[in-house]
Structure 1
Amino acid sequence: MCASVKYNIRGPALIPRMKTKHRIYYITLFSIVLLGLIATGMFQFWPHSIESSNDWNVEKRSVRDVPVVRLPADSPIPERGDLSCRMHTCFDVYRCGFNPKNKIKVYIYALKKYVDDFGVPVSNTISREYNELLTAISDSDYYTDDISRACLFVPSIDVLNQNTLRIKETAQALAQLSRWDRGTNHLLFNMLPGGPPDYNTALDVPRDRALLAGGGFSTWTYRQGYDVSIPVYSPLSAEVDLPEKGPGPRRYFLLSSQVGLHPEYREDVEALQVKHGESVLVLDKCTNLSEGVLSVRKRCHKHQVFDYPQVLQEATFCVVLRGARLGQAVLSDVLQAGCVPVVIADSYILPFSEVLDWKRASVVVPEEKMSDVYSILQSIPQRQIEEMQRQARWFWEAYFQSIKAIALATLQIINDRIYPYAAISYEEWNDPPAVKWGSVSNPLFLPLIPPQSQGFTAIVLTYDRVESLFRVITEVSKVPSLSKLLVVWNNQNKNPPEDSLWPKIRVPLKVVRTAENKLSNRFFPYDEIETEAVLAIDDDIIMLTSDELQFGYEVWREFPDRLVGYPGRLHLWDHEMNKWKYESEWTNEVSMVLTGAAFYHKYFNYLYTYKMPGDIKNWVDAHMNCEDIAMNFLVANVTGKAVIKVTPRKKFKCPECTAIDGLSLDQTHMVERSECINKFASVFGTMPLKVVEHRADPVLYKDDFPEKLKSFPNIGSL
C-alpha cells in the first residue's frame, strides 16, 4: 500500500514543513520553562542549607515570620565543653587570615525558631538583652554578612540566661548550625549559668569547642586564654541615671546592699556593723513597701528605706559577696556609683580580668578573712582610695555600662589574641581619659610589625620673625612625608598674620597661640599632633632642603626611640674648672643634637611636660635657655642611647637674621649653656649623654653616580 500525501493547492509543498518547524520551537521552549519550574520547586523543598549574604538584618531582628526548624528527638548533641581547649588547640586561626585592619570578622546566624517533635519551642523568644548584643555586633566593624569571610560565628540562639533553656534541645539546635564543626570558632554569650541545686559556674549546655563569654566563671571552669569572663549586666544601668560623684570620704565606710544572702554571710556582715557602728551599713530587702513601689529600687535597714542604687554613692567601700551564682549584677551597680567593690567570692574570675587590672579598682578579700575586712580596708591610704574610686567609675563607663560595651570588649579581647602584634596596650585598657595619652605609644616597646608610615608633624616655634617663618613653612611643606604643620606662636603682644598672608601649602597648617612666652611650649603635647614622629624646627632654619628633612625622617623611622637631628653638639669635662662644658665647635664627636631641627617621638613631649625630673622645666622657662639640652638629657636618660646626627651640614646660622633676632647670638646665652649641663647632671644624678663618633648619610652620598638615580640628591653642603 502506498502512502498518499495531500498538498495544499494554495501553495507549494514547503508550507507543511514550516509548520513543523514552528511546532518544534514551541515544544522546545515549553520544555525548558517546565524544567525550570520543576528545578525551582525541587530546590525549594529539597533539604538544603541556605546561607543568605545578609542573614542578620533589620527585618530579621524581629521574631515574626522567622523560619521554624524542627529538631527530632534523636538529633545529634555536641560533647560537653572541652576543659582542655586553648586558642592553639581548639581555635582555627587560619579562618581569620590577614587583613590590613587587623580585625576579626564576625558572622551572625539567621534568626530561627527551633521546636521539638511536638512543636514546643526549645527556648523563649529572644531576649531584649541578646537582641541588643547581636545588634551591637552587627553595627560594629567586626561584622560581616559573608559567611565565607568569617573568623568567628555567633549563633542567634539566646543562651544568656540558663533558666530559660531546655539544655538538651538547645545543644541540638547548636549542632544544626551550618558551620558548627564541633563548635570551632563559635562564640556563646551567657550571663546566668547553672541552675538549682548546684548552680554550676559555666553554661551547662553541651558546647564542645565553642568559646564561652560567661558571667560567673570560677577558676575550675574558666579556660584561661580561651573563654572570656564578662560582667552580669545590671538593667538598672539603663534605667537609673547616676551622675558621677567626686572621689573622697563618704558617709559610710563600708556598705552591704545585696538581698538574699546566705545566712552565714549575712551574719558576718551584721557582725561588722555591730562592731564598727554607724560607719557600716547593712541593707536588706524591704518588706513593707507601698503598693506600686518597685522593690528592686529600694533597700531597707530596719525601718529606714533607701533608694537603690543611689545609696551606693554614700559609701566608700561596697561589699560584693557570692550569691547562688558567683557572678552578681551588684558589681556593676557598685562600679557605677564609684564605690570601691570589696569582692568576697573565692575562685571568682572577675570580668575581663585578662586585660583589666582589678587591683586598681577593687579589693579582693578571701572569704576566711571576712571578719578582718574592716581593718584591711582601713590600711589603704586615702589617696589610693580616691584613685580606686575614679578607676571603678571608669571601668563601669567603659566596659559595664551597656550590653554593647560588654559585647565589643569581648570581641576586642578575642581580636587581641588573634592579632597580638596589633593588640590594645595595658594603658589603653586601664587608663581613664583624664590620664590616658591618646594614641601615644612608648617607643621603647616597639611593635612586632612595622607600622604604616603616618608621616610627621612639623612644629615651628616662632616669636616675631614672620618672613623667615614663611620661608621655613614653604621649604618644609615640600617634604613628601609631612603630614601636618603646627606653628607655636609665642608672642602674646602681637597677633599672628592674617589667614590670607600665610603660605598656601598642601597639608593642614594650624597656629597655636600660647598664654606665656616659654621655650617649653615647643614640647607641649598638643592635641593637634596626630603622628608619632615630630619635627621640631626653629623659625630661622631656612637652609635645610626637603631631601635633608626627608632623609632625617627615614632615619628616625628606623630608630624611633632616638633623637635624630642636624645641629650636633658635644659636652666635655673641664679638668681645670672641674665641671662640664658645652662645646659648639666642630669636633670628631657628638653627644647632642639641637631641637632647632630634630626628629623625635611625641611620647617625649609628655615626658618633658609631665615627668621632667626636679625643677628643670621651670628653670628652663625662667632662663629662656637650654630647652633643647633638657630634651637631650631626658631622651638619653630614658633610653640609655646616643643621638643620631644626620647629613654633613654643620652651619645653621641664618644669614638674613640680625643680631637682635636670636637668643643663641647672645654671649651670656652661650655661658649659660655650660651651666645648664651641670645643673641638669646634678638633677638627674648622673651624666646620661652618650658620646658617638658617627653620623648617618645616604648610601650613595658623595658617590660618583647620576644624581637622578639617587634617592636624596640634594643633601646640601656644610
Structure 2
Amino acid sequence: MLWISSRTCERHLKQKVGDVSAQLLQPGGRWRSVPAGGGIQVPLSRKGPSRRDDRSLAGYHPGARWRRFSASLQPFSSWEQDQSDSHNEHISPRQKRDANSGVYTGKRCRMESCFDFSLCQRNGFKVYVYPQQKGEKMSESYQNILSSIEGSMLYTPDPGQACLFVLSLDTLDRDQLSPQYVHNLKAKVQSLHLWNGGKNHIIFNLYSGTWPDYTEDLGFDIGLAMLAKASISTENFRPNFDVSIPLFSKDHPRTGGERGYLKHNTIPPYRKYMLVFKGKRYLTGIGSDTRNALYHVHNSEDVVLLTTCKHGKDWQKHKDARCDKDNAEYDKPYELNYFFALVTNTVGHEEELGRTSALSHCVQACKTANGEKKRYSRRQTPPVAILYNAALPGNHRQLALNDTAGREGGWYDYREMLYNSTFCLVPRGRRLGSFRFLEALQIGRERMAAFQQIAVFANDTEEITRALQHSEAGALVTGRARVVSDHGQGAACVPVMLSNGWELPFSEIIDWNTAAVIGDERLLLQIPSTVRSIHQDKILSLRHQTQFLWEAYFNSVEKIVLTTLEMIQDRVLQHTSRSNLMWNSLPGGLFTLPQYSTYLGDFPFYYATLGVKPYTKFTAIVHVVSPLVSQSQPVMKLLVVVAKSQYCAQVIVVWNCDKPLPAKHRWPVTSVPVIVIESESKVISSRFLPYDTIPTDAVLSLDEDTVLSTTEVDFAFTVWQSFPDRIVGYPARSHFWDSNKERWGYTSKWTNEYSMVLTGAAIYHKYYHYLYTTYLPASLKTMVDQMSNCEDILMNFLVSSVSKLPPIKVTQKKQYKETMMGQSSRASRWADPDHFAQRQTCMNKFASWFGTMPLVHSQMRLDPVLFKDQVSILRKKYRDIERL
C-alpha cells in the first residue's frame, strides 16, 4: 500500500488522474470515501497538510497509468459516526463517548442491537399499551391509535406478556407551536418503570420540528425505541428498525374506511386531465422551491397545477409578481366550495365569510330557483347556478357555474380534477410528507363521494328542500349542470411523488414502483413528458394497485397501525414472516396470517399466481344440535347423500347436542370416513373451528336439516374450484339500508340480487375457519354463541371483507331446509319468531365492528351448462338438477 501526503495527492489528482478514487483518512483513524474510479488511501495525521518533501515521489511518471481496483475500500466506521464527527472535531473524546452512549447509540440502532427478542419468545408477539395517566391530554388521532391496538388480536393487558410497548403519552405532534404539543415529555418518558432506555418500545409521530426548519427532532431522546413516523427522511430512517407511516388527518376514520372509487376501467385509460395539482405554495423557507416552480409546467389544458400564495399571516410581505394571477385562478371555484359547505352544514371559512345558517339560506335559494326557473333556457344559466347564487351571502354572489360544470365554466374544482385526471402530483410540503398522498390514493374521500353519488333534479321547491334536509352531501345538480362529470368511468388517479429524500410509507413491504411514479424534484420540467410516455397497460396496472394499497393499508387509522405492528412482527418472527407477494397482492398482508402457513398454496388467493389448482376433494362438516331419534331424520339422509359424492374425502359431524352420542351402529354406513367431534363448549361457533382433521382445502358446511342431492353437491364443488376465495352455495340472502330507521336490514325475500350465501349449504376454503377463530374479536363470537344465531352472517361479513367480492349462488333452488323438521323433538331455530329479529341486530353489530358494510351485492347465478335447454338429457352432466 502506498502512503503519500494529502498535498501531494491533491496535486496528482489534478494531473490527468480524474479516474482515481481516494479513501481519505479522517482524524481518529477513520476513512472517508471520495467517489471516482480506482482507489488509494491517504493518511491525515493532523488538520493541516503534511510538509513532506516532493522528492518522495521520485520515479513518478505522469503518463503512467494508475492501478485500478475492482471496488473502493469500505470505510472502517459507520456513516453515522463519520458524519457526526466531521462537525464535532472540537469536542473532547470524553464528551464524544458520553454522547455516543445516548443519542448516537440510538441512531445506529437495528433490530439485532436494540431489540430484546427474548421478550417475544415466551408469549409470542404481544403489544402492551401503558395506562393513561390522569391529567394528560391526548389528541383524538392518538386515541384512535391506542384504541386500534387495544382492539387487535396482538394486544395484551399484561406487561409481563408483552413483546412491544406503546406509550400512552401523546407523541404525535411535536411541533412546539401546536396546541397538541405535550410539554416536559422527556421527564415523563424517563419516569416510566418499563422504559428501559426505550428498548422494545415504539413511538408514533406525525409532526416534528417547527417553523422555519421543520427538523425531525422530537424534542426528547427516544433512546433505543423504534420510531413510526410520518415524513421521515431516508437520511434519518433506520432500515428494518423504524417504520415510515403516512401523514393522516384527524378526520381519518378509525376503523373501516371507505373503499377506493375505481369501479371499472375504460380503454384507453386516459382522462380529461393528464396531471393535476391544487394547493398552497410557500413563498419562502423549506419546501418552497418545487411548488414555486410548478407554473412552468402548467398549461391550463391537460396539465393543471394550481397554487395559491395565501398561506400564513405574513404572506403578503413575501408575495411575488405571480401571486395575484395564481390566487385568482386558484380561487375561482371558492364560492362553489362554500355553497357545498352551506348545504352540508360544514362551513369552514368563518373568518372570511362569517357564519351562515345553511338551511335557511338554501331554503330561500330553493324558492328563488323555483321562481326564476322558467326564465332560463337550456343554453342559459341553469337553475342550480341560481340556487347557488342566492345561497351565497353578501358580495360573494358570483356565478361559478356556466352552461355546464367543469373547465368549460372557467373554474377548477380540486375534487373534480382528481376524479378526472390520469395522474395526480404529490409534491412535498413544509415536511416531506403531505396530506395529498392519501387523497391521491383514494381520490376525494369526502366531497368527491358526495358529488359522485347524489344527483337531485330540481323540479320544484319542495323536492329541493327535501334534498337539502335529508341528503348527506346535498349536491344539487340539474340535467346538464352536474358538478362532477365522471364521464362514465370510475375514479383513481396515479400519484406522482415529488419529494426527494422521503422514505415512502411502509417502503419495507410495499413496492411503490407498482403503484406510483417516483419523480425527482430536480427534474420537474420532465414530469409531463414522463407521464405521457407511460403505456396505457402500465397505467391500468398502477391504477389498480393504488386502489388495492388504499383499501389494504391506508383507508383507516386501524389499518395503518396494524400494518405497522405486523411489519415489526415479521421482523421478530422471521421464520414465519410474510413474503413480498403477500404484502403486494390481494387481499394483503393483514389477511394472510403467517401463523397459519408460510406456503402460498395453502391460501385461497394465490392458486392462479402459482399456477396450481385446489385439492380435488372436500371435507363435509355437518353441524348437529338435535338428538338422533330415528333413521329417517334429515341428518341421516344428508350423511348418505354427501358421502356418495365423487369429490367427498370425509365427513365430520360436529356434535353440539346436549344428549350423549348415539351408539356406533346408529350411524349410517358410508363409503368415506365419518368423524364425530363432540365439542366441550357446545357453542355454535365450534362449527368454524380450524380442526386438524380437515385434510382438504374445501369445506362443505351443512346444517343438520339441509336437503341436497348428490348432484347438487358435486356441481357446487365444481363451481367453487373456479372461485376458491369466495363462498359458493345455495341459500341466498340480502342486506339493505333502512333509511327510516337509519340502520342496516336483513331480508330473506326472493329478489334479483343477494349479498350472502348462508353456511347451511355452502362451500368455502378452510382458511376462513382459521380467520374466523383468530382474526375476529371475542366479543362478536361471544354474542353469536349466546344467541346461537348469526354465525353464518358473520362468516359472510368476514369473507367479503377479505375478498372484496360477493358470494356465488348456484342453481335456482330456493328451498333447502327440511319442511318436516317440526315433528322432531326440537323445532328448527328458523321457526323461532325472535330468530329474524336477532339477525337484524347482528347486521348492525357486525357493521359497527368492521367500521363499514363489507357485503357486496350480486345478481349472478351459475347454472349447469345446457340447464333447461331443449336438448337430449344424455348431453347434460348434471341432469338431476332440473328435476329438483
Normalised TM-score (structure 2): 0.42
Q: What is residue 162 of structure 2 aligned with on the other side?
A: 150
Cα 1:242–1:224 change in 2 (3 A) is closer
Normalised TM-score (structure 1): 0.51
Q: What is residue 249 of structure 2 aligned with on the other side?
A: 234
Q: Distance in 1 between matches of 2:589 and 2:583?
A: 12
> What secondary structure, in the 3-state scheme, does the structure 2 residue paired with 1:399 have?
helix
Q: Distance in 1 between matches of 2:221 and 2:589?
A: 44
Q: What is residue 348 of structure 2 aligned with on the other side?
A: 294
Whether contact under 8 Å (1:456, 1:531) holds in the other structure is: no
Q: Does 1:483 align with 2:690?
A: no
Q: Distance in 1 between matches of 2:119 and 2:150?
A: 19
Cα 1:487–1:150 change in 2 (3 A) is closer
Q: Does 1:423 align with 2:577?
A: yes
Q: Does 1:189 align with 2:199?
A: no
Q: Does 1:112 align with 2:323?
A: no
Q: Distance in 2 between matches of 1:510 and 1:176?
A: 67
Q: Does 1:172 align with 2:187?
A: yes
Q: Distance in 2 between matches of 1:258 and 1:344?
A: 14
Q: What is residue 19 of structure 1 aligned with on the other side?
A: none
Q: 2:496 aligns with which of 322, 325, 342?
A: 342
Q: Distance in 1 between matches of 2:415 and 2:252?
A: 9
Deviation larger for 246-255 or 257-266: 257-266
Q: Which has the larger radius of gyration?
A: 1
Instruction: Kindly provide the amino acid, as one letter, of the partner of residue 184 in structure 2.
Output: E
Q: What is residue 225 of structure 1 aligned with on the other side?
A: 240
Cα 1:241–1:305 change in 2 (3 A) is farther
> What secondary structure, in the 3-state scheme, does the structure 2 residue paired with 1:111 have?
coil
**Residue-by-residue CA offset, 1:420-459 (whole Å, 9 max, x unaligned):** 2222332332213499997897858999xxxxxxx98834
The alpha-carbon deviation at position 511 of structure 1 amounts to 2.1
Q: Distance in 1 between matches of 2:567 and 2:139?
A: 24
Instruction: Kindly provide the amino acid, as one letter, of the partner of residue 110 in structure 2.
Output: R
**Residue-by-residue CA offset, 1:648-669 (whole Å, 9 max, x unaligned):** xxxxxxxxxxxx99x9xxxxxx
The alpha-carbon deviation at position 251 of structure 1 amounts to 1.4
**Residue-by-residue CA offset, 1:620-665 (whole Å, 9 max, x unaligned):** x9xxxxxxxxxxxxxxxxxxxxxxxxxxxxxxxxxxxxxx99x9xx
Whether contact under 8 Å (1:154, 1:188) holds in the other structure is: yes
**Residue-by-residue CA offset, 1:194-251 (whole Å, 9 max, x unaligned):** 2223212453431111110000111110000000000000346549978613443221
Q: 1:82 aligns with which of 106, 113, 126?
A: 106
**Residue-by-residue CA offset, 1:522-550 (whole Å, 9 max, x unaligned):** 67647445348xxxxxxxxxxxxxxxxxx
Instruction: Kindly provide the amino acid, as one letter, of the partner of residue 284 in structure 1.
Output: T
Cα 1:487–1:222 change in 2 (3 A) is closer
Whether contact under 8 Å (1:79, 1:206) holds in the other structure is: yes
Q: What is residue 273 of structure 1 aligned with on the other side?
A: 298
Instruction: Kindly provide the amino acid, as one letter, of the partner of residue 94 in structure 1.
Output: S
Q: Does 1:249 align with 2:270?
A: yes
Whether contact under 8 Å (1:81, 1:210) holds in the other structure is: no
The alpha-carbon deviation at position 476 of structure 1 amounts to 2.7
Q: 2:225 aligns with which of 186, 189, 210?
A: 210
Cα 1:282–1:96 change in 2 (3 A) is same
Q: Distance in 1 between matches of 2:280 and 2:253?
A: 21
Instruction: Kindly provide the amino acid, as one letter, of the partner of residue 172 in structure 1.
Output: A
Whether contact under 8 Å (2:496, 2:516) holds in the other structure is: yes
Cα 1:510–1:186 change in 2 (3 A) is farther
Instruction: Kindly provide the amino acid, as one letter, of the partner of residue 339 in structure 1.
Output: C
Whether contact under 8 Å (2:642, 2:713) holds in the other structure is: no
Q: What is residue 849 of structure 2 aligned with on the other side?
A: none
> What secondary structure, in the 3-state scheme, does the structure 2 residue paired with 1:187 have?
strand
> What secondary structure, in the 3-state scheme, does the structure 1 residue paired with 2:301 have?
helix
Q: Distance in 1 between matches of 2:408 and 2:719?
A: 61
Q: What is residue 7 of structure 1 aligned with on the other side?
A: none
Q: What is residue 116 of structure 2 aligned with on the other side?
A: 92
Q: Does 1:378 align with 2:532?
A: yes
Q: Distance in 1 between matches of 2:617 and 2:281?
A: 62
Q: What is residue 458 of structure 1 aligned with on the other side?
A: 617
> What secondary structure, in the 3-state scheme, does the structure 1 residue paired with 2:558 have?
helix
**Residue-by-residue CA offset, 1:313-366 (whole Å, 9 max, x unaligned):** 121111111121011111011101122111111111000010011111101012
Q: Distance in 2 between matches of 1:487 and 1:326?
A: 48
Q: Does 1:362 align with 2:516?
A: yes
RMSD: 4.8
Q: Which sections of structure 1, spanning at least 5 residues, go unmatched?
A: 1-76, 115-123, 448-454, 490-497, 504-508, 533-620, 622-659, 664-718
Q: Does 1:321 align with 2:427?
A: yes
> What secondary structure, in the 3-state scheme, does the structure 2 residue paired with 1:318 have?
strand
Q: Does 1:403 align with 2:424?
A: no
Q: Distance in 2 between matches of 1:370 and 1:340?
A: 17
Q: Distance in 2 between matches of 1:265 and 1:203?
A: 26
Q: Does 1:530 align with 2:530?
A: no
Q: How many residues align?
A: 424
Q: Distance in 2 between matches of 1:241 and 1:184?
A: 36
Instruction: Kindly provide the amino acid, as one letter, of the partner of residue 196 in structure 1.
Output: W
Whether contact under 8 Å (2:260, 2:551) holds in the other structure is: no
Whether contact under 8 Å (2:619, 2:694) holds in the other structure is: no
Cα 1:501–1:107 change in 2 (3 A) is closer
Q: Distance in 2 between matches of 1:182 and 1:434?
A: 34
Q: What is residue 159 of structure 1 aligned with on the other side?
A: 171
> What secondary structure, in the 3-state scheme, does the structure 2 residue paired with 1:189 have?
strand
Q: Distance in 1 between matches of 2:698 and 2:238?
A: 53
Q: Which sections of structure 2, spanning at least 5 residues, go unmatched?
A: 1-100, 309-329, 342-346, 354-399, 401-405, 444-491, 604-613, 621-639, 651-669, 677-691, 727-762, 768-864, 866-873, 878-884
Instruction: Kindly provide the amino acid, as one letter, of the partner of residue 271 in structure 1.
Output: H
The alpha-carbon deviation at position 268 of structure 1 amounts to 2.9
Whether contact under 8 Å (2:278, 2:305) holds in the other structure is: yes
Correspondence 1:36-75 to 2 at 5 A: none
The alpha-carbon deviation at position 147 of structure 1 amounts to 1.2
**Residue-by-residue CA offset, 1:481-535 (whole Å, 9 max, x unaligned):** 652789999xxxxxxxx955879xxxxx9925269xxx99867647445348xxx
Cα 1:81–1:218 change in 2 (3 A) is farther
Q: Distance in 1 between matches of 2:585 and 2:494?
A: 17
> What secondary structure, in the 3-state scheme, does the structure 2 residue paired with 1:257 have?
strand
Q: Distance in 1 between matches of 2:115 and 2:281?
A: 40
Q: What is residue 792 of structure 2 aligned with on the other side?
A: none
Instruction: Kindly provide the amino acid, as one letter, of the partner of residue 432 in structure 2.
Output: L
Instruction: Kindly provide the amino acid, as one letter, of the partner of residue 438 in structure 2.
Output: S
Cα 1:341–1:201 change in 2 (3 A) is farther
Whether contact under 8 Å (1:250, 1:314) holds in the other structure is: yes
Instruction: Kindly provide the amino acid, as one letter, of the partner of residue 672 in structure 2.
Output: V
Q: 1:130 aligns with which of 126, 142, 167?
A: 142
> What secondary structure, in the 3-state scheme, does the structure 2 residue paired with 1:96 have?
helix
> What secondary structure, in the 3-state scheme, does the structure 1 residue paired with 2:261 have?
coil
Whether contact under 8 Å (1:488, 1:514) holds in the other structure is: no
